[in-house]
Amino acid sequence: MADVCRHEGLKSWVAEVAAMCRPDRTHWCDGSKGEYDLLMAQMVEAGAAVPLEKRPNCFLFRSDPTDVARVEARTYLSTASPEDAGPTNNWIDPAELKRTMTALYDGCMSGRTMYVIPFSMGPIGSPLAKIGVQITDSPYAVVNMHIMTRVGSKVLEELGSGGEFIPCLHSVGAPLAPGEADVPWPCAPMEEKYISHFPEENLIWSYGSGYGGNALLGKKCLSLRIASSIARREGWMAEHMLILRLTNPEGRQYHIAGAFPSACGKTNLAMIRPTIPGWKAETIGDDICWMKVRPDGRLHAINPETGFFGVAPGTSHASNPVATEMLMEDTIFTNCALTGDGDVWWEDMDGPPPDHAIDWKGKDWTPDSAVPAAHPNARFTAPASRCPTEIHDWDDPEGVPIDILIFGGRRSSVIPLVYESFDWDHGVFMGASASSEATAAILDKVSPVRRDPFAMQPFCGYNMGDYFQHWFEMGDRLGDKAPRIFYVNWFRKGEDGRWLWPGFGENSRVLKWMCDRVDGKVGARETAIGLMPEEGGIDLSGLSMPVGDMEELLRVDVEGWRGEIPDTERHFSQFGSHFTDRLRAQVAGIRKRLGLD
């Protein structure tokens, strides 16, 4: 493979990294099935992976108990001026951060193989795609990257001798002394972990963690943090959104992109099975959406990934039948429990729990154990090609034209089931003030609400005040071709603590209302917070709901909304001089409509 590379810049970067990290050997990845199978076989042999008898070509990994999730507190956005990183990012001066990390990288791959992974985010050669090259000493990262991105020689061909690529350096930070035995999941202690981004030079340096977004650098690091900063410069959008195609009974297609914070059912919605007769849904992506204005003046979207890295606990026939089917083969599981008959298990899977299992820490577990069998952030990595609802033309380099944008969060009160923005600027306000509760505890009126603007709080690669302005400017460019913007909340509860909305497949009823709005088939009533369904506007045929629930779901709780405003204003005040006047105008507008001024 190294000889397929005609790019001197890439070759010299690989040589520089090898000189610094001093691996025992270097392997250029070709992305082939043979390479995947060989690496898996080696990891099984080394005791890092367990093949699952019940699921063909599936493997279980258990991470180190200290390395189980993205580490936001150790994630850095390193720009010359701290102001360019803004208040939502951790900042360290680039020279200082590079000094610290160079000392850590020094000899960090000794005893290990250094893998060079050329990958494309987006169809190779698409005007919407970007090429990255990840260097890593984690074979686990390699096999995951195989599933999540397009890896291999074709990417090097596309790169040619002078193409642009985003260098992504990763090490688990666990050098081996001569003769020292490896552990199943090598990583560095928390205080040595650094997930660093240098957007001014499109560079990613990650050290110390082997888990998810910390280690699969094409995902959050490249496709969101670095890409959002490139997108701002180049005039497009890199968003934390699912992408979905809905087709109505007449065959008309609608493309929907939706931003939701983690743990709000994003993957479930991406794989929805509509309950309304005649409507069909297809999955395009569950996490990341890149959108560009194309020659037709519309916003076109691609999912730059090729797989799903989803949270396993809670995934069941009821919540996501599509994923349940998808995960039967060719999947990597991380931190799930292992059953006696060679299957995986997690909390809220179908059926009763097993009498006995090996938990995610490798310990014996029974239903009487005080701890969960799977880690709450246990994951599956599954190829999109295995998703039964994946669209067949999803590799189309032009992407799909977006009709509808959705924001949402998990709120047990105040926020209604659905409302539509008055216009684009109001939609930007809805995204910028989006919020979610940390947990769905019982009658959680007092549970903390976190503002997570556009679900991008941990992922925006520049000052978020400027990001809001970028959204306004995109709206100006799109004019009357802009997608319509909606806000949803599937999680509103009644006084008695019951979920009022059945959710899952029934969410298709709300999506249908949005499509009907786009086509002008249904009206809406104007309220202080936005445009809302008229009585009977949402198709409830065949669904039996307790009397009064729908009224409550669509009630504008004026007192509750008034109570939201101070928190929204506090949240906006952190952006200081980067806060845009157009958002200020939106705040003034809602204050007035709520009778606060």
Instruction: Please give the residue ranges that form the binding site for ligand OXD (CB under 6 A).
Output: 70, 212-213, 262, 287
Q: Which residue lies nearer to ligand OXD by CB, 66 or 262?
A: 262
Write the CA distances from 50 to 45, 65, 339, 540, integer angstroms: 9, 17, 12, 46
Position 154: which residue type?
Answer: K
φ, ψ dihedrals at 522, nearest 5° = -130, 150
Residue 188 CB, shortest distance to ligand OXD, in Å, is 21
Residue 146 CB, shortest distance to ligand OXD, in Å, is 18
φ, ψ dihedrals at 382, nearest 5° = -130, 140
Residue 232 interacts, among ligand OXD, Mn ion, none and using kind-specific CB cut-offs from 5 to 8 Å, with none
Residue 240 CB, shortest distance to Mn ion, in Å, is 6
Residue 275 interacts, among Mn ion, ligand OXD, none and using kind-specific CB cut-offs from 5 to 8 Å, with none
Q: Using an 8 Å Cβ cutoff, are 298 and 446 in contact?
A: no
**Per CB under 5 A, which of residues 534..563 are in contact with Mn ion?**
none
Q: Which residue lies nearer to Mn ion by CB, 36 or 490?
A: 490
Q: Which stretch binds Mn ion (CB under 5 A): 106-114, 287-295, 405-413, 573-581?
A: 287-295
Catalytic residues: 264
Tell me which residue has its CB nearest to Mn ion: 287
Q: Which residue lies nearer to ligand OXD by CB, 213 or 399?
A: 213
Q: Using an 8 Å Cβ cutoff, are 102 and 249 in contact?
A: no
Position 316: which residue type?
Answer: S
φ, ψ dihedrals at 63, nearest 5° = -85, 170
Reading phi first (left if > 0) and then psi (alpha if -120 to 50, else beta), residue 121 is in: beta
Reading phi first (left if > 0) and then psi (alpha if -120 to 50, else beta), residue 520 is in: left
Q: Which residue lies nearer to ligand OXD by CB, 419 or 459?
A: 459
Taking the mean position of all CA atoms in its chain, how far away is CA 595? 37
Q: Which residue lies nearer to Mn ion by CB, 287 or 444?
A: 287
Residue 285 interacts, among Mn ion, ligand OXD, none and using kind-specific CB cut-offs from 5 to 8 Å, with none
Residue 208 interacts, among Mn ion, ligand OXD, none and using kind-specific CB cut-offs from 5 to 8 Å, with none
Q: Which stretch binds Mn ion (CB under 5 A): 279-287, 367-375, 380-388, 576-584?
A: 279-287
* 227-234 helix and 464-478 helix, angle to the nearest 10 degrees: 50
Residue 294 CB, shortest distance to ligand OXD, in Å, is 27
Q: Which class for 500: exposed (0-12), middle (13-18), buried (19 or more C-beta within 10 A)?
A: buried
Residue 265 interacts, among Mn ion, ligand OXD, none and using kind-specific CB cut-offs from 5 to 8 Å, with none
Tell me which residue has its CB nearest to ligand OXD: 262
Residue 458 CB, shortest distance to Mn ion, in Å, is 9
Torsion over CA: 413, 418, 424, 428 (sign):
positive
- Determine the Cα angle at 211 with ends 205 and 215, to 5°: 25
Q: Which stretch binds Mn ion (CB under 5 A): 5-13, 119-127, 284-292, 589-597?
A: 284-292
- Among the listed residues 286, 287, 359, 466, the single contact to Mn ion using CB under 5 A: 287
Residue 466 interacts, among ligand OXD, Mn ion, none and using kind-specific CB cut-offs from 5 to 8 Å, with none
How far is residue 422's CA from residue 419's CA, in Å, rounded to a whole number? Answer: 10
- By three-state DSSP, how is residue 545 classified? coil
Residue 377 CB, shortest distance to ligand OXD, in Å, is 8
Q: Which residues of 456-489 are buried (b: 16+ CB within 10 A; e: fewer)?
A: bbbbbbbbbbbbbbbbbebbeebeeebbbbbbbb
Residue 7 interacts, among Mn ion, ligand OXD, none and using kind-specific CB cut-offs from 5 to 8 Å, with none
Residue 298 interacts, among Mn ion, ligand OXD, none and using kind-specific CB cut-offs from 5 to 8 Å, with none
Q: Using an 8 Å Cβ cutoff, are 366 and 386 in contact?
A: no
Q: Please tell me whether residue 425 binds Mn ion under the rule CB under 5 A.
A: no
Position 114: which residue type?
Answer: M
Q: Please tell me whether residue 359 binds Mn ion under the rule CB under 5 A.
A: no
How far is residue 454's CA from residue 140's CA, in Å, rounded to a whole number? Answer: 31
* Torsion angle (degrees, nearest 10) of CA 248, 253, 257, 260: 10
Q: Which residue lies nearer to ligand OXD by CB, 431 or 475?
A: 431
Residue written as tokens 């026939």? 317
Size of the site for Mn ion (CB under 5 A): 1
Residue 218 CB, shortest distance to Mn ion, in Å, is 13
Q: Which residue lies nearer to ligand OXD by CB, 287 or 437?
A: 287
Residue 262 CB, shortest distance to Mn ion, in Å, is 6
Q: Which residue lies nearer to ligand OXD by CB, 70 or 578?
A: 70
Residues found near Mn ion in the complex (CB under 5 A): 287
